[in-house]
Structure 1
């Protein structure tokens, strides 16, 4: 019984010692000098909100977006449209669309414009007016209003970079 009491007492002392506040050295530690006048008051997280996103980093200036992207998008009267889209650094594009099982192929070229956020492009070709959200090694085709296409086939509108 005495051994159990001693063991419990030793464990309690060790536990309490590990929970005590550590002393901070009174001597400065080697490192950069800190100007005490530059220390700011703590920020109240309830009154300040974190930024939604870093506006300095956009798809346009942060990603390696130029290159060729491919997808087979849905077609109303055929199995799909094999599409290849090449974006060039000079903001020009070429697009080829091949209608499967129809032996029909079309091509277009022109320029594209970035939206004000730097995350979406609009093709300005002779016939092509598609909009795409630019992501890491992918393009997501948007509807004519610039909104993501929803529904069971939405993944078919994602173009993968070759």
Structure 2
């Protein structure tokens, strides 16, 4: 039996050395953080939450078209062009009437985006008018005609959506 105790001595010695090494590693000093300056954040890169709305978050500039329901005619063809300089052109033509042969009704002028919580609404307003000529809800790839006075959705609002056909 004396030979078996000799063969286990190197193993016991190795285990003892490993235990001591692991114990010393656990006692290692933590890195000093007392004089480390706090991280610097670029305040210019922070975007306030209320600044994220249709005007700066969507590709709204472009041309939109649709054929919309009409109360006193079969339908109305409408084309809306919104430009990056905040001007718009709207062309409307009533379909199925003798006026089809004439020129469309046209609005040209400035538009503005609403304030929160209506930041997705635009109003196309002539200079001397109290009510906007048009109001639209702006979304990605489409706009929706809204009630002129309040901006409320029209009945069956999906029928009043104009699809974006090109970007500017």
- TM-score, normalised by the number of residues in structure 1: 0.62
Deviations 1:21-41 (A, max 9, x none): xxxxx79xxxxx9xxxx9xxx
Q: Superposed, which structure 2 residues align to 1:1-162 within 5 Å? A: 54-102=49-97, 103=100, 104=102, 105-117=104-116, 118-125=119-126, 129-144=133-148, 145-150=150-155, 153-162=156-165
Matched residues, number: 115
1:58 CA displacement = 0.4
Q: Which has the higher helix share?
A: 2
Runs of 4+ in 1 over 3 A off after TM superposition: 125-128
Contact 1:130 1:141 in 2 (8 A): yes
Query: Which residues of structure 1 form unaligned runs of 5+?
Result: 1-25, 28-32, 39-53
Q: Which has the larger radius of gyration?
A: 2
Query: Which residues of structure 2 form unaligned runs of 5+?
Result: 1-25, 28-32, 39-48
Q: Distance in 2 between matches of 1:121 and 1:115?
A: 6
| C-alpha RMSD over aligned residues | 2.9
Contact 1:71 1:156 in 2 (8 A): no
